Structure 1
Amino acid sequence: MPILVAALVLVGLLCALDLILTLGVVQRLRKHGALLAEVVSPSPDLEVGQEIGEFETTTVAGEPVTPGLLGSGTLVGFFSPTCGPCKDKLPAFVSHVRGLPAGQGTPLAVVIGEPDQATDFLTKLTPVARVVVERGDGPVSQAFGVRAYPTLLRVDRDDADRLVVGANRVEVDGPAAVAVG
């Protein structure tokens, strides 16, 4: 009988140790998940100098948007209302855009999703940018080749006057004059 009691105590201690270790692993996974959610990187397919494809669309205000209407140095942001990092980055983007020098051109914000999901984004973006709402396979997303959100980039004109990616990682957390890519 004492051997049975000792075995039960040993099994109980092993189960308690396993529970403590499992809780530690779950806590660490949550921390890493939160850290990974904060990482904002450009779409892996977007390289500086890459030509932007042709597209034609309209903003939520009814204005046409084509590659020919985007000037050199235009800031372009892709956001999704279902993306946690997009919700976190949106206020910094809006603040950054408000601090851009006059003559820089109106930024373009592309919201990926259904219009009824994008209401909060539209409210914040329409005063400071031209806003397009489209699905992930929409014309602007396809032309740019964006697959990750948020993606913030700057477009430029090359020697042949083609629209190309000028900077594929634009930081909007600092002053506007410094964040050129």
Structure 2
Amino acid sequence: MEPYLIAIVILVGITSLLSLLLCLAVIRRLREHTKLIDALYEVVGNGLPSAHAGPSLGDVVGEFDATTVDGDRVARDLLPDGTVVAFLSPECRGCREQLPELAAWAAGQDRARVLAVVDGHAADPAHLVTTLAPVAQVVIADVSNPVARAFGVESFPTFFEVAAGGRLLAMEAKISRLPAGTAA
């Protein structure tokens, strides 16, 4: 084989190896950035107490009256002690990611103690509704409806735990962080 061909093969091999190493480094950095962005998204935009405009822990949420997809009435004064209220949107990536966990957790609860408020103003809410309706009371509404206003919801997902009468016990961006949402 000609010496210049050997040199070209070696040069192409080294260039390919360097390109592969560079690609692996970029992929690693992108994964780190994805984790940082996800953490920032969770802190800034997911209904944590610091970004919450509604009642504070211990306060009573505002009055509301709504009808579920099953035609049942839900209101602040009708909520049983320890009710978990989840505000979700079909367009919310965090909502879609937490949907299986929420549905599995709710399946082990009294359906009357789980209220899911699904943003109906967003894209088709059918998937959220069909997944949650067997295990939770589901209200389709948007963030300007009386339920969302009563809780001061500004972003999705947001999870609340309330006592009988609507006293706010906890609010979190993940169901697993609520006292009621932890595995028994």
TM-score by length of 1: 0.70
Contact 1:54 1:66 in 2 (8 A): yes
Correspondences of 1:1-80 after superposition (within 5 Å): 27=30, 29-37=33-41, 42-43=48-49, 44-45=52-53, 46-80=55-89
Q: 1:35-60 deviations in whole A, cap 9, x for unaligned?
A: 43456553523521121111111011
Provide closer, same or farther for how the CA distance between residues 63 and 115 of structure 1 changes in structure 2, counting only shifts above 3 A. Answer: farther
- In the TM superposition, residue 79 of structure 1 has moved relative to its aligned partner by 0.4
Provide closer, same or farther for how the CA distance between residues 177 and 137 of structure 1 changes in structure 2, counting only shifts above 3 A. Answer: closer
* Whole-Å separation in 1 of the counterparts to 2:38 and 2:175: 20
Provide closer, same or farther for how the CA distance between residues 37 and 171 of structure 1 changes in structure 2, counting only shifts above 3 A. Answer: closer
* Whole-Å separation in 1 of the counterparts to 2:91 and 2:120: 8
Q: Which residue of 2 aligns with 1:84?
A: 93
Bigger share in helix? 2
Q: Which residue of 2 aligns with 1:113?
A: 120
Q: Which residue of 2 aligns with 1:163?
A: 166
* Whole-Å separation in 2 of the counterparts to 1:35 and 1:171: 12
* Whole-Å separation in 2 of the counterparts to 1:123 and 1:117: 11
Gaps of 5+ in 1: 1-19
Gaps of 5+ in 2: 1-21
Q: Which residue of 2 aligns with 1:125?
A: 132
Once superposed, what is the RMSD of the aligned Cα atoms?
3.0
Q: Secondary structure at the match of 1:127?
A: coil
**More deviation in 28-37 or 137-146?**
28-37
Instruction: Count the aligned residue pairs.
Output: 151
Percent of aligned pairs with the same residue? 32
